[in-house]
């Protein structure tokens, strides 16, 4: 692996236009897979494989959320007592 193929969290956050915290969150949620998308040469250093990040960005293999079709949306109607009531006009003039 060439040094040019690696990027830090800061560099990847710039490439993906995400905050560094979002990158760390994606690591924690396992959206970025250790030894596939990134590796840790030391406990406090994370290096990303740019080729894998580009694949992830294009929605290719290894992207845990590559398609919104995986998610189902269900509308659940509120029960009568849960519905919001319209506010009553204030009758007090000060």
pLDDT string in tens for the chain (94-residue length) = 566 699 999 999 998 999 999 999 999 999 999 999 999 999 999 999 999 998 888 885 445 444 444 445 565 565 655 556 677 676 776 6
CATH class of 3-65: mainly alpha
Give the pLDDT score at 29.
94
Q: Domain ranges for the chain, please list them.
A: 3-65
Helices (H), the chain: 9-16, 20-28, 50-57
Give the pLDDT score at 92.
74
Phi, psi of 89 (to 5 degrees): -65, 145
Give the pLDDT score at 68.
43
Identify whether the C-beta of residue 59 lies closer than 8 Å to the C-beta of residue 65: no
């Amino acid at each position: 692996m060439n040094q040019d193929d690696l990027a830090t969290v800061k560099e990847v956050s710039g490439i993906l236009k995400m905050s560094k915290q979002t990158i760390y969150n994606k690591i924690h949620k396992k959206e970025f897979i250790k030894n596939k998308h990134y590796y840790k040469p030391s406990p406090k250093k994370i290096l990303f494989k740019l080729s894998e990040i580009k694949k992830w960005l294009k929605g290719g293999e290894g992207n845990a959320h590559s398609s919104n079709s995986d998610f189902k949306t269900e509308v659940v109607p509120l029960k009568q007592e849960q519905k919001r009531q319209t506010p009553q006009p204030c009758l007090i003039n000060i």
